[in-house]
């Protein structure tokens, strides 16, 4: 269960999914403080994707998508100049209720959140298991590199959503899907669209 308030780390190119690992290099002073505080506390950090138009306002608080995923710092390497290399393990989705104003004491971004549980019922498990061969067929030769018989169907969907070569807004859209069944179906639809685009030479996003 996520705490009601968490630090959020906004980036323009990273989306975290539950039960998936995300390596990060932390160099900006306010986010070095964030990692330091997290390591002294519950080790939880919320990833948040920056919305378009963030470039001119990054030093402030540009808008982020309200739905993200929180992760646990599972590995940390402290570098000599105060930077960090960390690995986050995705825990759970969340929705930002409101952001907490930065202060002199805490310069990094924080938010009050509500956790978004994604229960996996028997019917969802059956759907994921039934659709797994379809996903692997759509991946083609990539399937042997990315998929593994030891990974669960649910974790496979989240891992593919994070690790496949997708546009970051496509990843965000998959994260925002309401549950694993909807995310699996969205992933299949996206892979099929890309396959059609590649076969017919359509520009990305213009399959008909």
pLDDT per residue rounded down to tens, the chain (208 residues): 899 999 999 999 999 999 999 999 999 999 999 999 999 999 999 999 999 876 666 667 789 999 999 999 999 999 988 899 999 999 999 999 999 987 778 889 999 999 999 999 999 999 999 999 999 898 876 655 566 667 899 999 999 999 998 999 999 999 999 999 999 999 999 999 888 876 766 555 543 3
Give the Cα separation of 129 and 188 in Å (integer). 13
Beta strand residue intervals within the chain, DSSP E: 5-11, 21-26, 44-49, 67-78, 84-100, 110-116
Q: Sign of the CA dihedral 12, 18, 21, 24?
A: positive
Domain spans in the chain, listed from the N-terminal domain onward: 5-116, 122-200
Give the Cα separation of 108 and 61 in Å (integer). 9
Give me the CATH code for the 5-116 domain, please.
2.30.130.40
- Tokens for 108, please give them: 């990094």
For residue 8, what pLDDT is reported? 95
Q: Sign of the CA dihedral 148, 149, 151, 155?
A: positive
Nearest CA to 34 out of 102, 81, 89 is that of: 102
For residue 207, what pLDDT is reported? 39
- For the entire predicted model, the pTM comes to 0.88
Give the Cα separation of 95 and 65 in Å (integer). 9
For residue 148, what pLDDT is reported? 63
- The phi and psi torsions of 127 (rounded to 5 degrees) equal -65, -50
The DSSP call for residue 55 is G
- The answer to whether the beta carbons of residues 46 and 69 sit under 8 Å apart is yes
Q: Which residues pair with 25 in a beta bridge?
A: 85
For residue 208, what pLDDT is reported? 34
Q: What share of the chain is helix, strand, coil (3-state, %, to 5)?
A: 40, 25, 35
């Amino acid at each position: 269960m996520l705490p009601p308030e968490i630090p959020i780390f906004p980036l323009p190119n990273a989306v975290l999914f539950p039960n998936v690992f995300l390596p990060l290099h932390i160099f900006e002073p306010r986010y070095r403080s964030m990692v330091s505080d997290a390591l002294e506390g519950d080790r939880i950090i919320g990833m948040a994707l920056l919305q378009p138009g963030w470039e001119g306002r990054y030093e402030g608080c540009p808008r982020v998508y309200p739905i993200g995923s929180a992760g646990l710092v599972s590995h940390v390497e402290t570098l000599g100049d105060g930077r960090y290399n960390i690995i986050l393990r995705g825990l759970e989705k969340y929705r930002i209720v409101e952001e907490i104003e930065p202060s002199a004491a805490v310069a990094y971004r924080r938010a009050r959140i509500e956790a978004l549980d994604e229960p996996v019922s028997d019917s969802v498990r059956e759907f994921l298991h039934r659709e797994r061969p379809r996903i692997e067929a759509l991946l083609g030769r990539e399937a042997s590199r990315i998929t593994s018989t030891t990974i669960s169907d649910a974790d496979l969907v989240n891992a593919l959503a994070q690790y496949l070569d997708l546009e970051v807004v496509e990843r965000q859209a998959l994260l925002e899907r309401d549950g694993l069944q909807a995310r699996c179906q969205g992933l299949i639809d996206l892979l099929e669209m890309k396959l059609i685009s590649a076969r017919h030479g359509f520009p990305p996003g213009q399959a008909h």
